[in-house]
Structure 1
């Protein structure tokens, strides 16, 4: 058990008040300069890596041996509170031996243990003062906090994510014994694996506050109805984002109301999980209301959402509101608007339009003439008014706008920002129709890659989706079934897909031959083997063994024979 805290006179311990003692005249204890605050930025100066390591070790020894905390707690706190550790330099005499001087300091000057503890959980320096208790400096005094902290750690919650729990759901750390465990077990009882419960509560710490979240339970029930495993749904969540279960539930209920079957909702989720996780935005409901206001029948509006699910996204709904505003501004009636929507809603939803005055000015026509032009050929609305016209020598691109817009729709689903330079670059780099790109992307996810990881890979190496589905699948199968590599290695090396499969086979066969003869490091990464240029590969992978060149020639000869 940690020792009882030393008596103190002041109840407020944000800053460290240094006390100096003198045991006797013959055995003096060195005086340490009193800092104004432990973690004030001006009191912290940069230290060398060696000194930082020594300070960390001294802090760990204090927490473990002097204060009695577990070794894992003491080690983690000392290694993950760099600002606090660096601040300790100002408390010692740099001329003396640093660890010895710091141990003397700890012996006579108890520190506020909450400062390094909270910093190790990920709470920033600017927020620290909001969470430090006013009447305690020893962690052991708040045994309830420590108990619940260990419950979360033992359950599998990463320590560096715990700061989010403390900031968003501080009540968790005040639960009586057994309560937090029962809440975590309750979510397992809903059919979630332990690892996915961890991911769920890391994304939404408030799920552990109060009773079981009704909206979450309802969403999981809906997932079960449409044939989506609960664990699969949680797998799409990102720990760096915040989610609203109410919006998810509203989205599912809205789709059911407008006429989506459970099978269609299932397919929509698999094709665009982001739509469900972020929920339908207000723009979609505004678009729905605007259509009702101009006189479009409810059943017709429902059919738009069923036939063209892309208009459920925030950006598409926003574009559609602009289209309605544009058409109303030039005097178009509800019948003509309804006719244009029924024929071209999919294309119009992907375009961000200019204002009608700008278009009239550019074409040098009045509103009535523009109305007649668009009525005769609704696609002119895209040609004349879209901000994303692809121009060549001052003219609109002659390619079919449908292919271009389908590709843009796919990129928007991946999280690209509309009208951004990143989007423009991606449009040039991705080859194929929108449905082909989606099929290739689905191949990555279906193979077992995390949805968010697959998006990250595509953004880092867009050329992955320029290959057809068969080639992508062959490279994944070779990696998993032949090489026995985990799929996760592709996240760090997405350009694996950009290399020819024959080249990959040749190089890894050579590497395997060298490993059998203990002629090479057996723990080299996939990228080191595959991505090296030919000259470097021959130097470090072929010529390292006397028989290497002959074996390498044989492998290349065999590869050419297989091609023929």
Structure 2
């Protein structure tokens, strides 16, 4: 509410503005202000044109008011007056701009002190529509909130652009109430991690939550992983964008997921160099979307892991796009999920390599309908790739030839295991086993070299083909855990080959809990692997955790140790 001029002492500290947002308003000194709210021309308000001279005079009046009357520093007063166009627009709407603007505004401000937080926040990059929830209650003078100003100046002096501080205030208001010296120490703590000042500025600008509490452990672990991949401190800042916010825990989970899937450090390094946004943009969301699409097709999780391992290129931007487009095409023409899953499992390299035309284009070129195209794919997927591929650089015939060669290698391996050529059993096995023939042989030999005889391994593999869909390193870790954690002979896996298919986290958690109970006489020695691993989480807690008074605390400790390591 604006006081009547006839009663200037009426409620002198209250002022109500009609908020409008204007984008890309060019002010004097070539300063430009932008915001994302709805826009209208900056040359007029309420249908009344405002001259450039009037705007310039209004800036000068606001500067003098903030500096001379309200005692703000020259730098702060000048920046606020030059970068709060919407506030100035509303201020000008209170007077007759056809008369002496300077005199009229000075007189207006004499009787109507302004809420200084409004132009202040607008100058920091916030839209007027965002201000109502951010303005302090019962305060209108900036000098009354000296703690906010102190922390604001710490950020400015550190080098953070003022235009980005508004976002920081909106997302992490806590950092603006820190005691003297605390914010400085938090910024320096990130420099002590080996980051350059410019990198710290970029990181805290896009993710101000890093300055809340202590140094973010998830961020530190992401940093360690990047360094382990050979991405130095001077390059780390280049992988992050101030346009995005980051969930460090989810990024860390994504990196751990890729590690568990079997990506080697060299592959992860190449991934970050060629397509870092896949892991960082959306905090790893793209990886999980791709993983989820494959699971929705009914492909077993371990098979999906294997597909990622055998086809590390799947996470490149181009291959990811090609694969998802292929899946969309198959669904569009009416293929069933089982049929699609079969094609994905057996022709992943083709799906990643081929940039396909749209189904409508293919149908038009061949003069057929969707159901006919669907039938072609069912009968001969290779023919479809040849017809629908847009790529001429590397022909589909070359890819098909390589695909056929890999199939022959896999067939040779299965024949050595005792499968009958061209039998139904052989056809089913070709779909279940993932990887090249030499890779399957390497994993098979790994089990033999660990101490199992050839026939036992052959029998084990036929019962649980998924064992060979894991990398040699993963198989070796599970063998080592069996011997060194439980003290069991490798022969214990023969009656329960599924042991080699469980993930390492489940194995480690349950083995450690069982050994702890066994050492205290609360569990029988040499229990079968299936008894320890195959039961549900609820039954495991009932029979292996709650049976000892200290069991629940120990179980919680084991799980916490795993999550923090």
1:329 to 328, 336, 348: 336
Secondary structure of residue in 2 paired with 1:363: coil
2:387 alignment counterpart: 383
Would the alpha carbon gap of residues 248 and 17 (structure 1) be closer, same or farther in structure 2, given more than 3 Å must change?
farther
What are structure 1's unaligned runs of at least 5 residues?
1-14, 24-30, 391-396, 406-564
TM-score by length of 1: 0.57
Secondary structure of residue in 2 paired with 1:91: coil
2:56 to 44, 53, 57: 53
Whole-Å Cα distance in 1 between the matches of residues 176 and 270 of structure 2? 41
Whole-Å Cα distance in 2 between the matches of residues 336 and 53 of structure 1? 68
Kindly state the Cα deviation for residue 210 of structure 1 after the two structures are TM-superposed.
2.9
Whole-Å Cα distance in 2 between the matches of residues 312 and 319 of structure 1? 11
Whole-Å Cα distance in 1 between the matches of residues 84 and 4 of structure 2? 20
1:149 paired to 2:152 = yes
Whole-Å Cα distance in 1 between the matches of residues 208 and 221 of structure 2? 18
1:111 paired to 2:114 = yes
1:250 alignment counterpart: 253
Whichever of the two has the greater Rg, that structure is 2
What are structure 2's unaligned runs of at least 5 residues?
21-44, 400-565
1:214 to 213, 217, 231: 217
Per-residue CA deviations over 1:268-307 (Å, capped at 9, x if unaligned) read: 2112222232225232221442566369846642433325
Give the number of equivalent residue pairs: 369
Whole-Å Cα distance in 1 between the matches of residues 175 and 47 of structure 2? 33
Would the alpha carbon gap of residues 190 and 399 (structure 1) be closer, same or farther in structure 2, given more than 3 Å must change?
closer
Please, what is the CA RMSD of the aligned residues? 4.0
1:200 paired to 2:179 = no
Larger displacement relative to structure 2 (350-359 or 107-116):
350-359
1:237 alignment counterpart: 240
Larger displacement relative to structure 2 (77-86 or 272-281):
272-281
1:284 alignment counterpart: 290
Whole-Å Cα distance in 1 between the matches of residues 381 and 53 of structure 2? 74
1:363 alignment counterpart: 368
Whole-Å Cα distance in 2 between the matches of residues 17 and 340 of structure 1? 76
Whole-Å Cα distance in 2 between the matches of residues 195 and 18 of structure 1? 51
1:159 paired to 2:162 = yes
Secondary structure of residue in 2 paired with 1:127: helix
Kindly state the Cα deviation for residue 43 of structure 1 after the two structures are TM-superposed.
6.0
Whole-Å Cα distance in 1 between the matches of residues 107 and 370 of structure 2? 86
CA contact (8 A) 1:201 1:208 kept: yes
Would the alpha carbon gap of residues 360 and 49 (structure 1) be closer, same or farther in structure 2, given more than 3 Å must change?
closer
Larger displacement relative to structure 2 (108-117 or 241-250):
241-250
Per-residue CA deviations over 1:355-377 (Å, capped at 9, x if unaligned) read: 9997999525966x954665545
Would the alpha carbon gap of residues 215 and 226 (structure 1) be closer, same or farther in structure 2, given more than 3 Å must change?
same
2:231 to 228, 231, 253: 228
Would the alpha carbon gap of residues 139 and 354 (structure 1) be closer, same or farther in structure 2, given more than 3 Å must change?
same
Whole-Å Cα distance in 1 between the matches of residues 241 and 99 of structure 2? 48
Kindly state the Cα deviation for residue 379 of structure 1 after the two structures are TM-superposed.
4.5
Kindly state the Cα deviation for residue 198 of structure 1 after the two structures are TM-superposed.
0.7
2:88 to 71, 85, 89: 85
Would the alpha carbon gap of residues 232 and 287 (structure 1) be closer, same or farther in structure 2, given more than 3 Å must change?
same
Whole-Å Cα distance in 1 between the matches of residues 71 and 60 of structure 2? 15
1:187 to 186, 190, 193: 190
